Structures are given as structure tokens and as C-alpha cells.
Amino acid sequence: MGEKRRWLALPGLSVIVVFAVAPLFAMLYFSFQGDSPGAGFTLDNYTRFFEKQFYLSLTWSTIKNSIYVTLVSLAVSYPLAYVMAKKLKGARNIVLVLIIIPFFTNQLVRVYSWLIFLQDGGIFESALASVGIVNGPLGLLYTRAAVVIGLVHAFFPYMAITIYLALEKLDNALLEASASLGASKFVTFRRITLPLSRPGVAAGVLLVFVPCLGTFVEPRILGGVNGMVIGTVIEDQFFRIYGWNFGAAIAFILLAMVLVSVSAFSRLGRGESRE
Amino acid sequence: MRRKPTASYIVAVAMLLFAVLLAGCAGSADGKPVLHIVNWEDYGSDAPAFVAAFEEEYGCKIVNQYMQSEEDLLTKLRTSKPGEIDLCLPNCTILTAAIEDGLLAEIDTGRLKNFDSLFDRFKTQKEVMLNGKYYAVPWVWGATAVAYNTDLVTMPPSSMSVLFDEAYAGKISFRDDYNDAIMAAAIVTGQDPNSPSDMEAIKEALIAQKKLNRNYWETGDEFTKLFTGGQLSVAMMWSGQAASMKLEGEPIAFVVPDDGAIGWVDNWGIVAGTKNEDLSYAFIDWMISKDFQYDWASSGGPAPVNREAADAVDPEYAAAAAMDEASLNKLYFMEYRSDEVKREWNELWTEVKAAN
């Protein structure tokens, strides 16, 4: 039965091949093309990227953004997911809906809401000022912190949901057994809960870190003069100067970084669950 | 029963295709010639009132297809078959490439009765010519220069260097555009904005300028938000948007400083291989006529190339929108840039934005 139904995957597979794999190879071809007509195969686009120091510092700055966003998302999501999975009963679905709401919001609307919220004289500043925490302009908009806030809001649901699913599968009997054998709550968490939720954490980290590398809308709108990321460079190449070849090369460098992080994070998740 | 929906589906698709084919022929089916134009959307030349008047006058039909960018227009011209497009609207950054590739037909300016009314500057604009022959006709122009908040700045800035002035640190906004950034920095460093020689000096000036900005703006809307929030004293801005913000009562003024600013021109070209030559000439003549140019310029459009139209615009509004002759004569108009120059300029701007 299982053998015979394999053809059911055909429609899905052909969509992937036609709309994802084939264009990917077209882009790969462009990335090895010279800019002058008839230049043929060349590595120039790649060497150009690695020769210029500012492309590398831009890449590092983009990676740092992603790391901060991932860490903040983890710090926010784990406790939330734990409470949802182990403490809440009926309210669970309500919280889940609240987490998913950012998905239903248009990206630009979300970013502009943050712009209005964070700007000097904005809602956030007034709220802090009214309880006497700040005095004068907040200066938060157009900083890296603003970018991280905007990106965490966009991506933390992936983290919260994957961790929640891992924790929900965790059998409560294990926790009760641990307690009955005299383990403190902290030891139970460290020895039982944390290791068993590790695959969920690894998947969540991957789902936040990787898309963060390619975003350019949040950094550009919330990041101010220092809001340039590697995604912006790709966008400029494609839309402003029709530099498809160089743009494609940067896109593949980014893809290589993504593949490296995917393999690293999935090893993290697998390694632990095997123990 | 199972097969039936499939059969009726095929019939439906076939009928739909047939209908599309019919619609495609409809233009010429009733005998009227069709003028195909590659145009900017919502840019005067596609206004319904004008289109209706022109179609009525010349017994033809106008079909606009819209371009997304100048590069997009160049691609459309290169890939279309002769006769598919009659008219197009390039600016000077791609015009030379279009003319040199033989994409545009030579224009006999003697067939345009309004050509004589153009400002001399536009009659002799070198980007529309090759070997002394015309291949396009200038239509409208505008300036990218300095806007300032009249509540915060009392003296009109007299130099582009106001955008690089530490006195306004944190209250400046610069345009996020490689062309505008480099041309402005070239003016400030005393170089030819269209072919600067010392790119290193430009880079240093822009990197030093970077930390003075409240933000870079890219779309007009981003600028409006910052300005109306009172966060800007001076900024790089477009003449048209500054004028319309002033009309809405914002405390904004626009000035083309004495050391110059950036100018742009949009031009009409007749595409080589057109089958509607007479109609195309009639269209361009209408576009550069005093009446059309005056009506659009005085209702929020860009500046007219027709001197009679410019003279008729209310002088106060003309000065506020920098469409007066004094402003015109101070502008450095954007010229053709080769792909190589575009790449070099864009990379320099990327380096500036990546600098800490």
C-alpha cells in the first residue's frame, strides 16, 4: 500500500522543482557569470565579496543581530512554553492564538507599529515617563535594540511553539518519579525537563536564527543609519542596479551560512535525544 | 459523472481563451489606431481626462503599460517587437543607452509646433541628442535639494553643505540613494557631480555625515513622518513633495542652494519601428503644450519645460516648488551612467552605510 501511494507526492514535488529548485540553479548560474556580455564562467562575484572588508563586517553584524534575536526569543519563549505545557489547562489555546497573531499581521504593518511605539515621544516613552522611569527622549528607535525587538516579535512564535510541543509530549510521570525519588525542582528541570525539550529548543533556534539572517525590512525601518544588513545588499543589487550576478553570489554565500547553521543546530538536537 | 466536470472545465477554459483573444483584437477591430505607451503610473500623461480628450481629438485609443523603474523600461524596449510600443518616457540616466542601441526613432523637432517654447536649456539638452540629431523631447523636470523646517531654521541655507553641518547633528535626514548621495557629496567637495574624480573624498564626507543623520529616508512617506514629528531641521528632499507639504500647511520651505543641487528630466521618445508616427508626434506636442504643462504644474505636478507655461505659474508657488528659472539654472542634471559607474557608486554607498 505504502509503496503504491508514492505518486501522491508528485504534485508537491513538481511544485518544488519548478518553483524552487530550478530558479535556484538559474541563480547559481548567474552567480558565476561576469558582468560584461560573453565573459563566461568566473569566480569574480565571490572574490569581490570576500575582498571587501565592509561586506564581511556587514555579514558579521547580520549574524550578531540573529544571535541576539535568537537568545532573546529563547529567554522569552521557554518560560512561556513551560507554563503553557505544564501549568495552564483551558487557557492554553487562548495563549496559543495570541502567540500566532504576529503571523497574521502584515510585515509592514507590524514594523510600522513598532516604529510608532518606539519613537521619541511615542507610546512606550510616554508610558515609561508616566511612572517616572525615563526623563526625556528614549533614543531607542534607530538602534540595534529596536531591530532586535522588531525581529523577536516577528520570529519568537516559531520558538515558543516548537518548545511547547516538545514539553507537551514530556510525560508528567517522569517528573513525578523524579520528585518522589527526592530530586529538587531544579535538579528535575536540569536532568529531565531540559534534556527532553532539547530537540524542540534546537528546532526553535534554527527557525528563528535562519530567517533572521535574510531579513532586511525590520533592520532598514527600525535600525536607522546603521540598519544595513546583508539582505539589504542583495535587495539593492537586484532592484536598484540590476546587478543580478553579484546579488546571486551574495545570496549563495548567505545560503551556505544557513546550511552550516542548519547542520550545527540539528546535530545539537539529535545528539541530546540519543543519550 | 466523474468525467463530466473535467469536460466542462476544458470548455470553460477554451471559451475564456477565445474571449481573451477577442479582447486583444478589440483595439483595432473597430478601425481606430492604438497608441501603445510605456508610462509611469498616475503621472499626468495617463490622467483619464487627458486620455479621453486626446482619443476624442485624434480618433484613436491610448493603451498604457506601466514601468517599474528606468531599467525596466530599457528591458521592455530591448525585448519588444517593432510596433509593439509607440512611445516611452525615459529619464537621462538610461537615455544614452537607448539611443545608442537604436531603440528610439530620430525626432524632427520641426514637426512639433510647441518645441520652440521650450527653455533653451531643454532645447539643447545633450542627453536627447546623438551626433546633433534629436531622439527624445524633454517633458518635465524637478530638483532634489534642501528642505528645511521654517520653525527651526530662520535663514534659508545657501549651500548643500548644510546637510553636512554639525550644528544640525541629529536633526538631518539624507536620502538613501546612491546617486543622490554621491552627487550631493560631490557638490560639497567641489567636484563635478556627474563625473567626480576623487571618490575617496566623497566617501569620507559621506561617512562623516552619516552620524549627523536622524535617519536616512527612502520613500517620501518616511520623510513625511520624520518631518511632521518635528524631528528634522534640514533634509535632502524632492521639490515636488516639499511643495505639496507646504500646500498642506507644514512649516516647510525648499531651496536650491547657490552651489547647486541635483536635477532630473523625464523625456518622451518615439520607439523605432512605430506604425503610428503622426499620432506619436501629436501626443508629444500635446504633452509639451503650454496648456497641458501649466495645468499640471499648477496643480501639484513637476516643473514644466515650456517657458510660457512656467511664466504663467503663480511666481510664489513656482519659487516654493523650485520650478522658477533661477532654480533651474543652478541644477546639475543627472546624466547617463554606465553599468560600471552604477556598480561603483552603489558599492561606495554600501560601504558608507556599512561603516560604523
How confident is the model over A52-89, as pLDDT tens digits? 999 999 999 999 999 999 999 999 999 999 999 988 87
Dist CA B262 CA B26 (whole Å):
44
**Cross-chain residue pair B346–A142, CB shorter than 8 Å:** no
Dist CA A102 CA A154 (whole Å):
6
Taking contacts as CB-CB distances below 8 angstroms, the residues of chain B near A240 are 178, 346
C-alpha cell of residue B267 = 523625456
Chain A residue nearest residue B211, CA to CA: A225
Chain A residue nearest residue B223, CA to CA: A221
**Cross-chain residue pair B346–A241, CB shorter than 8 Å:** yes
Dist CA A137 CA A74 (whole Å):
30
**Cross-chain residue pair B354–A58, CB shorter than 8 Å:** yes
Torsion angle (degrees, nearest 10) of CA A44, A50, A53, A56: 130
Q: Which amino acid is at B189?
A: T
How confident is the model over B163-173, as pLDDT tens digits? 999 999 999 99
Q: Which residue in B74, B80, B103, B86 sits closest to B36, CA to CA?
A: B86
Burial of A95 (0-12, 13-18, 19+ CB in 10 A): middle
β-bridge mates for residue B137, sequence order: B268
Question: What mean pLDDT comes out for the span A163-182?
Answer: 91
Dist CA A28 CA A245 (whole Å):
9
A50: number of Cβ within 10 Å: 11
β-bridge mates for residue B146, sequence order: B236, B255
C-alpha cell of residue A68 = 541576539
Q: Is B293 within 8 Å of B302 (Cβ atoms)?
A: no
**Cross-chain residue pair B346–A225, CB shorter than 8 Å:** no
pLDDT reported for residue B15: 53
Taking contacts as CB-CB distances below 8 angstroms, the residues of chain B near A34 are none
Taking contacts as CB-CB distances below 8 angstroms, the residues of chain B near A232 are 353
A228 touches chain B (CB under 8 A): yes
| pLDDT, mean over chain A | 89
**Cross-chain residue pair A54–B343, CB shorter than 8 Å:** no
HSE-CB for A97 with a 13 A CA cutoff = 5
Question: What mean pLDDT comes out for the span A29-48?
Answer: 87
What percent of chain B is predicted at pLDDT more than 90?
Answer: 78
Question: How close does chain A come to B164, measured CA to CA in Å?
Answer: 15
How confident is the model over B71-82, as pLDDT tens digits? 889 989 999 999
Q: Per-residue confidence at B18, pLDDT binned at 50, 70, 90?
A: low
pLDDT reported for residue A271: 62
Question: What mean pLDDT comes out for the span A136-148?
Answer: 89
A137 touches chain B (CB under 8 A): no
Taking contacts as CB-CB distances below 8 angstroms, the residues of chain B near A52 are 347, 351
Question: What mean pLDDT comes out for the span A29-35?
Answer: 90
Q: Give B165-168's long-range contacts (Cβ < 8 A, gap of 24+).
A: B165/B212, B165/B234, B166/B212, B168/B212, B168/B233, B168/B234
B240: number of Cβ within 10 Å: 21
Best of B177, B213, B350 to disrupt the A interface (most A CBs within 10 Å) is B350
A51 touches chain B (CB under 8 A): no
Q: Which residue has the higher pLDDT, A132 or A81?
A: A81
Q: Per-residue confidence at B91, pLDDT binned at 50, 70, 90?
A: very high
A238 touches chain B (CB under 8 A): no
C-alpha cell of residue B275 = 506604425
Q: Is A221 within 8 Å of A23 (Cβ atoms)?
A: no
How confident is the model over B145-162, as pLDDT tens digits? 999 999 999 999 999 999
- Ramachandran quadrant class, A242 (left: phi over 0; alpha: psi -120 to 50; beta: rest): left
A189 touches chain B (CB under 8 A): no
Taking contacts as CB-CB distances below 8 angstroms, the residues of chain B near A236 are 346, 350
- Interface predicted TM-score (ipTM): 0.87
C-alpha cell of residue A59 = 555579514
A130: number of Cβ within 10 Å: 9
Q: Which residue in A166, A151, A168 sits closest to A209, CA to CA?
A: A151
Residue B4 has pLDDT above 50, yes or no: no
Chain B residue nearest residue A223, CA to CA: B215
pLDDT reported for residue B27: 45
How confident is the model over A74-131, as pLDDT tens digits? 999 999 999 999 888 788 889 989 888 877 888 889 999 999 899 888 888 888 888 8
C-alpha cell of residue A238 = 537586484
Best of A48, A49, A119, A225 to disrupt the B interface (most B CBs within 10 Å) is A225
A60 touches chain B (CB under 8 A): no
A241 touches chain B (CB under 8 A): yes
Residue from the list B178, B215, B354 with its beta carbon closest to the beta carbon of A54: B354
Q: Which amino acid is at B78?
A: R
Q: pTM for the whole thing?
A: 0.85
Calculate helix-pair angle for A194-214, A244-274, nearest 10 degrees.
Answer: 180
Dist CA B280 CA B277 (whole Å):
5
**Cross-chain residue pair B346–A224, CB shorter than 8 Å:** no
What percent of chain A is predicted at pLDDT more than 70?
Answer: 97
Burial of B194 (0-12, 13-18, 19+ CB in 10 A): middle
Taking contacts as CB-CB distances below 8 angstroms, the residues of chain B near A225 are 210-211, 213, 215-216, 353
Q: Is B351 within 8 Å of A49 (Cβ atoms)?
A: no
Q: Give B39-45's long-range contacts (Cβ < 8 A, gap of 24+).
A: B39/B64, B39/B65, B39/B66, B39/B67, B39/B88, B39/B89, B40/B66, B40/B67, B40/B89, B40/B266, B41/B66, B43/B89, B44/B140, B44/B296, B44/B301, B45/B89, B45/B287
β-bridge mates for residue B303, sequence order: B141
B→A contacts (Cβ < 8 Å), by residue, are 69, 71, 178, 210-211, 213-216, 218, 222, 225, 229, 231, 339-340, 342-343, 346-347, 350-351, 353-356
Q: Where are the alpha helices (DSSP H) in B189-238?
A: 199-210, 220-228
**Cross-chain residue pair A228–B343, CB shorter than 8 Å:** no
Taking contacts as CB-CB distances below 8 angstroms, the residues of chain A near B229 are 119, 121
Sign of the CA dihedral with B107 first, then B110, B112, and B116 last: positive
| pLDDT, mean over chain B | 90
Q: Is B245 within 8 Å of B252 (Cβ atoms)?
A: yes
Taking contacts as CB-CB distances below 8 angstroms, the residues of chain B near A33 are none
**Cross-chain residue pair B215–A142, CB shorter than 8 Å:** yes
Dist CA B123 CA A250 (whole Å):
44
Taking contacts as CB-CB distances below 8 angstroms, the residues of chain A near B354 are 54-55, 57-58, 61, 228
Chain B residue nearest residue A48, CA to CA: B347
Max mean pLDDT range (A30-44, A215-229, B195-209): B195-209
